Structure 1
Amino acid sequence: MQRKRKRLFIRSIILAVLVAAIGYTVYVTATGGSKKVVKEGDQAPNFVLTDLNGKKHQLSDYKGQGVLLNFWGTWCPPCKKEMPALNEAYKTFEDKGVQVISINIAQSDFEVRDFVSSYGLDFPMTIDQTKSVMRAYNVDQLPATFLIDSKGKIKRILTYGITEKEFKQYMESIQP
């Protein structure tokens, strides 16, 4: 009799854990689709990231200027290919009211510094260690480039490697 009660008790606990797990899965699935997707025309989500030189970059500080956000990783072949082109475009537009903020996705400071050094990059390079900015912008593939106008609105979202000519055209389109 005692044994049957013990078995019933253990089975009840296992059943309760299974029901809780299924309930949690249903809840996460149901609410996961309700997150806000950032799209062209939306106000760009604000963020603060620190670059490799220790300077803080808060998106809202650049109101009145165009901003090109470029999400990337050192392991991403199209990212590697577009970096020299982005660097040249940056040099052309840095004094014309268009800022570049490059956002590496959660790699080490050493990896990013080594990459920047080997490519001779001049634009601000930040690292999104917690992936909070990546999530705010719904970035799920790299490279991802967001063109933000002087009013802070997302004008264009690009999810492919960009050429120097294209970078210059896109930067002209957000130049104040």
Structure 2
Amino acid sequence: MVGNVCFVSPAFADSDSTANAFQPSEEVKATLLPLFTAIADADVSRTKVELSVETVMHGEIVSNEKSTFQIASKFPGKYTIYHKSEEERKRLYSDGETSTVAMSPEAYYVLPEALNNQTLVTRTPIGLGPYPEPMLALSVAGVDPSVTFFGGMLSVSIVGQTQFRGRVDSIHLHGEQDDGVVWDLWMTDEKQPRPLRLLVNLTPMLIATGQVRVPQGYELSLRYDFVSWRMSGEVDDRLFRFIAPKDATKYESLADYQKQTAVRLGSHPLLGKAAPDYTLTLLDGTEISSDDLKGKTVVLDFWATWCTPCIQAMPIIKAAVDEFNDQDVVFYAVNVAENASLVNGFAGEQDWGVDVAVDPKGTMIETFSAGKIPLTLVIAPSGIVEAVHVGYPGKEALKKQFQDELDVLTQGGRIATSQPQKAD
């Protein structure tokens, strides 16, 4: 299953232990066997994959977040994965003995144990965007793609032969998982096929799990385009060795990295300074200026429909603010650069009870340096930005942070993290 671990024996074997598991048809087996066997038998691989995270409303793409994967691997336990987006440059290395995560050129940590290629695919140790497993299963040498593509399935069918992008003979397959995820795979129609595109539709899963209330016409999908792909040739072992830059910081773990960088991320350029002038445009067209909010404690939360941590954090922040609603504390959820009709439809389906502001041109992103979300600013009645929250630390941690901060501010105090540091 994409996103879960559900092991199936290689080559689609029909054993007693898998008698009750999903079994693909003979036609599907015959179609996918050449591709899956080429990957499982490969000693090396080199691939480049472009990912587009698309938000669609009534057939129109209203948001498209792009990133790129560059992957090199050697069976059984050597690989380097480079995930590049506008916001981050993340690498995962393994030389067969040590697996290292470079969160940035300046920060890295070593995993407790080296992960082999198959474990990498089925138990990815770091975030590489949403649902990376199926892409990795088609990109890493020596893994069994059937583990990912046939585990936990309801159905896999052949849609038919087609011309991919109007010029490449291809075969289109369609899969439906038992968790609601739907995927479509296009691969070349030739003796030794290669993957062309993997489209993963997460909308049915969102509906089934109730994570969000999905408005009519809304769709969230991932499009993986395989720009280059090979399971042969030579790969230099130097690609798999991590050499720490001179000034890089080594952390003990991901948790240690997140804890220590949270302090640095909290040093937002506006922290401890007067908030800039701004005007909020609510979904009903009402405009509220920063002058209108003078004397109040203002919580501004920047979010987007495609940002899962934002959706998780929203009701927690709202609940914390509600405890102080008789003490002039107000909360506005500012959508980041998405189509107003999408935001209106999406927010209208949620049970948030939150005043939502729209910023389709991204003006407030620049004003408040909201390059990374979730981003929440707490502005004191004095107009000073007293606290900044970046990311989602978890329900209990986030709730306590807001309760403590709002308790201090509503009593006329200041939050220590916003006060200028004294020189030694």
**Separation (CA, whole Å) in 2 of partners of 1:43 and 1:78:** 27
Q: Structure 2: which amino acid aligns with 1:166?
A: Q
Aligned partner of 2:323 among 80, 88, 92:
92
Which residue pairs with 2:295 in the alignment?
64
Which consecutive residues of structure 2, in runs of 5 or more, have no partner in the other structure?
A: 1-267, 413-424
Which residue pairs with 1:51 in the alignment?
282
1:1-176 map, 5 Å: 38-161=269-392, 163-175=398-410, 176=412
Which residue pairs with 1:3 in the alignment?
none
**Separation (CA, whole Å) in 2 of partners of 1:39 and 1:49:** 18
Q: Structure 2: which amino acid aligns with 1:108?
A: N
Q: 1:125 Cα shift?
A: 0.6
Question: Deviations along 1:87-122, whole A, 9 cap, x unmatched?
Answer: 222332222211112110121223222332332122
SS in 1 for 2:272: coil
Q: 1:52 Cα shift?
A: 0.9
Displaced runs of 4 or more, over 4 A? none
Q: 1:59 Cα shift?
A: 1.4
**Separation (CA, whole Å) in 2 of partners of 1:137 and 1:143:** 13
Q: 1:160 Cα shift?
A: 1.4
**Separation (CA, whole Å) in 1 of partners of 2:285 and 2:361:** 17
**Separation (CA, whole Å) in 2 of partners of 1:134 and 1:48:** 13
Q: TM-score, normalised by structure 1?
A: 0.72
Which residue pairs with 1:27 in the alignment?
none
**Separation (CA, whole Å) in 2 of partners of 1:118 and 1:90:** 21
Q: Structure 2: which amino acid aligns with 1:160?
A: G
Q: 1:58 Cα shift?
A: 0.8
Change (3 A) 1:96 1:85: same
- Higher relative contact order (CA closer than 8 Å, sequence separation 6+): 1
Question: Deviations along 1:7-53, whole A, 9 cap, x unmatched?
Answer: xxxxxxxxxxxxxxxxxxxxxxxxxxxxxx83211110111121012
**Separation (CA, whole Å) in 1 of partners of 2:374 and 2:389:** 8
**Separation (CA, whole Å) in 2 of partners of 1:138 and 1:88:** 25
Change (3 A) 1:92 1:113: farther
CA contact (8 A) 2:318 2:331 kept: no
- Mean alpha-carbon deviation: is it higher for 131-140 or for 163-172? 163-172
Question: Deviations along 1:55-83, whole A, 9 cap, x unmatched?
Answer: 21111221111111111111111101111
**Separation (CA, whole Å) in 1 of partners of 2:355 and 2:371:** 22
**Separation (CA, whole Å) in 1 of partners of 2:343 and 2:400:** 25
Q: Structure 2: which amino acid aligns with 1:174?
A: L
Whichever structure has more strand as a proportion of its residues is: 2
Q: TM-score, normalised by structure 2?
A: 0.31
CA contact (8 A) 2:340 2:360 kept: no
**Separation (CA, whole Å) in 1 of partners of 2:271 and 2:380:** 11
Which consecutive residues of structure 1, in runs of 5 or more, have no partner in the other structure?
A: 1-36
Change (3 A) 1:61 1:131: same
CA contact (8 A) 2:335 2:358 kept: yes
Whichever structure has more helix as a proportion of its residues is: 1
Question: Deviations along 1:103-147, whole A, 9 cap, x unmatched?
Answer: 101212232223323321222110112211110111110010111
Which residue pairs with 2:262 in the alignment?
none
Calculate the aligned-residue CA RMSD, in Å.
1.8
Q: Structure 1: which amino acid aligns with 2:370?
A: V
Larger Rg: 2
Q: Structure 1: which amino acid aligns with 2:349?
A: S
